[in-house]
Structure 1
Amino acid sequence: MESWSTEGKSKKFFRKHVWGTLDMIRVIFTDKSTWKEVMKLDKKTGLDPENIKIRPIDGLPASENIFPGYWLWSKVTRNLSAIGYDTNTMYIASYDWRLTLDNLEKRDHYFSRLKSHIEGTTLGTGRKSVVIGHSMGSTVLYYFLKWVESPEGGNGGDQWVENHIEHFVNIGGALLGVPKALPSLLAGENRDILTMGKIAFSLFERFFCQSERMELFRNWASSAMMLPRGGNVIWGDENGAPDDDDSVTMDQGAKADKSLGTMISFAPAQPNVNLHHNPQPNQSLKQQASLANHTLEAAMDLLLDTASPEYASILQNNYSFSITTSKKQLEANDHIPRTWANPLETRLPNAPSLKVFCLYGVGIMTERSYLFGSHDYRKQLHEGDTTCQAYGDVADTTGSTSPVSLFIDTSITDHSQNIDKGVRLTNGDKTVPIVSNGYMCASSGGWTKHADLYNPGHSTIIGREYQNRDTKVPPRNRGAPTSARHVELLGNNDLLLDLLQIVSNHSERITSRAFSKIETVAQRISLEHQE
């Protein structure tokens, strides 16, 4: 993204790339405060503050690479070009990922422009389009499928998708959100930050401390789009979760005895804990914590309790995170835009010829739930400075509440329970657990078993997994053709071949395939249909 500001302090960044390039790094290190000012949105409207204008870069350069050598879509576009695609037949719908979906249309006319482009393609070629999204982009596209037909949106009518879209392809789609969004918004933390290494993390913490990160995450209102959807029905509770038994274990044969449905566990006070302290297996987990543990629904309530009025309003007016099993309510939701990004609260278009693909990686330890602590070794970095910490009023086991410093306790590691540095891990693509990537497309999942609720046109649904296979070269598997990690999957040879077949009239060759226990997970999710 680049700055188009021509007034105020930010005018010196005019046409500079303030996100995703080396320019961004230079700007942060030379003028951090101005960079933060430039990147922030107005906290009430969620739009541009006065005298500040950031816009996404258009076209292929916006998506092929981020930072030198870190490719995103470049391998996909190169392979598409090999079978004849070019800029006349391929369109990158780049967007400002900070904005809510409603504001994308309000400020940038984003969905109107996408609708017009697809209509022009159909008119010019007589053929329908394949739309492909990755990660958050899949959620943006899912919202578009509802927006484009609705009178409250693009007013295209109930046959628009049937007439214009051939296939809807989700790559690592995270359609039901990701657990890592919760600690990011609640406490400015996630596993990516906390596993930098002690020195790197200390430097990063001094430069962007915990509360500063939380402030930015909450200001970028689109971050909430990635919060987990479906509540305890999908993500479980303290008695069990659908994906409890589908873990990539860190110790061969080990099995966790704690439900993944406990989204946030509060560890008991350990005043002598330090960064290198690793308790013996089950040692800390068998102690009784004084603070109440939280399921997803309780953790979402805690997030709302800690939110400013402005941020709480953004959450409640733009997003919906629950589940609807009533046909009557699903019909009503056709006219409630805040539900349109949630496939458990709004239906696929009535498009019998549409094919929906969920293509995602498995076989990698992925964050699923968190252990928050009561002793933070990092306080020494900001001695006497409470402004760098995140707080929330947390209930204890007696029901009373008190303000508590919120942070992931990286001192807790228990390999027998798949816990690494305060994060309980499960099977996924390193970023998204299988329940989010796979449930809607599983044979026993939302769009097939429960098609009468969520798939009225009985569109064909294909769920296809890619097993991660690590290699020694390149380092850390970055760019390896066998990697199934969340971003690296865009360079996976098997996935690229499947994409080429999907976009060249051979989609019938791409069938459902599972390496994980996604079918078992889907069968454990019990949905009772209501009238």
Structure 2
Amino acid sequence: FRRVTLGGRRLAGGGSGGWIDRILRAVGVGQPSASTGGFIGPLPRPAGPSEKFGDPLTAPLPRAPNLKIYCLYGVGKPTERAYHYVHRPGQPERPFALDVSTHGRGVERGVTSVDGDGSIPLVSLGYMCASGWRDGSRLNPAGAEVKIVEYNHRAMSLWGGGIQEGRFSGDHVNIMGNHEMIETVLEVVTGHGAGVRERIYSGVRQIADNVRRLRDARRGTRGDEL
């Protein structure tokens, strides 16, 4: 614990008191601002209901100029996204039920599946990283750099050494054993994150474009919103 560092700066010494403040200073909170010549100062108090504080669509990132965001997640695994129901007015105990007769593109037995990591759909995995925190967004007030690194799901058979789907898994949980992702994490935590290259296999950029067009249509093409 005495040797915890971030970017070459010592964060903690003989005790735990104040080490969180040191982390905040290491990423730039409270550091001099090149644009103003002064200090950025404390973070503003969140506005609105407390249940919104953890909502990335409404709560901005910290004003930390040295902050860097790496979005590492798996793709290429069918993931449940929506469900088709039927109304059963004659059964008040269960007025709605899954319509297992519904089939179609991406729909099987009433369940719609999309790209994702098997648990989280792509729009939730990557939208904020691909658009919400980019392009001068008000949700990224310090302009923190954002990089996406996607890992295409390639499950290995158990016979071929694929315990927990193997070293190429992009599954929501089993990605923790993905060798390439582990290497990326090591690069970042050892101060070599600048060498990490963005890599996108999925259609997350198309999703971001669709959201942007829908947003602009609804808000009169205002560019000062998310």
Alignment TM-score, normalising by the size of structure 2:
0.72
In structure 2, the residue matched to 1:470 is 155
Change (3 A) 1:476 1:426: farther
In structure 1, the residue matched to 2:111 is 423
In structure 1, the residue matched to 2:202 is 516
Matched residue type, 2:113: L
Change (3 A) 1:429 1:465: same
In structure 2, the residue matched to 1:318 is none
Matched residue type, 1:453: R
Number of residues paired by the alignment?
189
Unaligned runs of 5+ in 1: 1-86, 91-120, 126-147, 149-155, 167-330, 376-383, 392-403
Matched residue type, 2:142: G
In structure 1, the residue matched to 2:37 is none
Aligned CA-pair RMSD: 3.1
In structure 2, the residue matched to 1:448 is 134
Partners of 1:372 and 1:89 in 2: CA distance = 56
Residue 524 of structure 1, CA deviation? 1.4
The secondary structure found in structure 2 opposite 1:478 is helix
Residue 463 of structure 1, CA deviation? 1.2
Q: Trace 1:115-514 onto structure 2 (pairs within 5 A).
A: 122-124=11-13, 162-165=24-27, 333-334=46-47, 336-374=49-87, 391=94, 404=95, 406-409=96-99, 411-412=100-101, 414=103, 416-442=104-130, 445-449=131-135, 451-473=136-158, 478-514=164-200
Partners of 2:77 and 2:207 in 1: CA distance = 17
Change (3 A) 1:371 1:428: same
Residue 332 of structure 1, CA deviation? 7.3
Tell me, yes or no, if the aligned pair for 2:156 and 2:165 is still in contact at 8 Å.
no
The secondary structure found in structure 2 opposite 1:437 is helix
Partners of 1:124 and 1:460 in 2: CA distance = 29
Tell me, yes or no, if the aligned pair for 1:361 and 1:486 is still in contact at 8 Å.
yes
- The percentage of aligned residue pairs carrying the same residue is 28
Alignment TM-score, normalising by the size of structure 1:
0.32
The secondary structure found in structure 2 opposite 1:358 is strand
Matched residue type, 2:98: I
Residue 161 of structure 1, CA deviation? 6.1
Change (3 A) 1:464 1:507: same
Matched residue type, 1:438: G
Change (3 A) 1:488 1:506: same
Partners of 1:479 and 1:426 in 2: CA distance = 20
Structure 1 moving runs of 4+ over 3 Å:
87-90, 331-336, 474-477, 527-531
Residue 408 of structure 1, CA deviation? 2.5
Matched residue type, 1:417: R
Partners of 2:195 and 2:26 in 1: CA distance = 22
Change (3 A) 1:337 1:371: same
Change (3 A) 1:337 1:458: same
The secondary structure found in structure 1 opposite 2:198 is coil
Partners of 2:84 and 2:127 in 1: CA distance = 25
Unaligned runs of 5+ in 2: 5-9, 15-19, 29-43, 216-221
Partners of 2:200 and 2:209 in 1: CA distance = 14
Greater share of residues in helix: 1
Residue 479 of structure 1, CA deviation? 4.2
Greater share of residues in strand: 2
Partners of 2:13 and 2:2 in 1: CA distance = 11
Change (3 A) 1:494 1:458: same
Tell me, yes or no, if the aligned pair for 1:162 and 1:350 is still in contact at 8 Å.
no
Tell me, yes or no, if the aligned pair for 2:61 and 2:139 is still in contact at 8 Å.
yes
Residue 462 of structure 1, CA deviation? 0.9
Residue 89 of structure 1, CA deviation? 6.6
Q: List per-residue Cα deviations over 1:27-83 (Å, max 9, x = no partner).
A: xxxxxxxxxxxxxxxxxxxxxxxxxxxxxxxxxxxxxxxxxxxxxxxxxxxxxxxxx
Partners of 2:198 and 2:51 in 1: CA distance = 31
Partners of 1:481 and 1:487 in 2: CA distance = 12
Matched residue type, 2:123: V
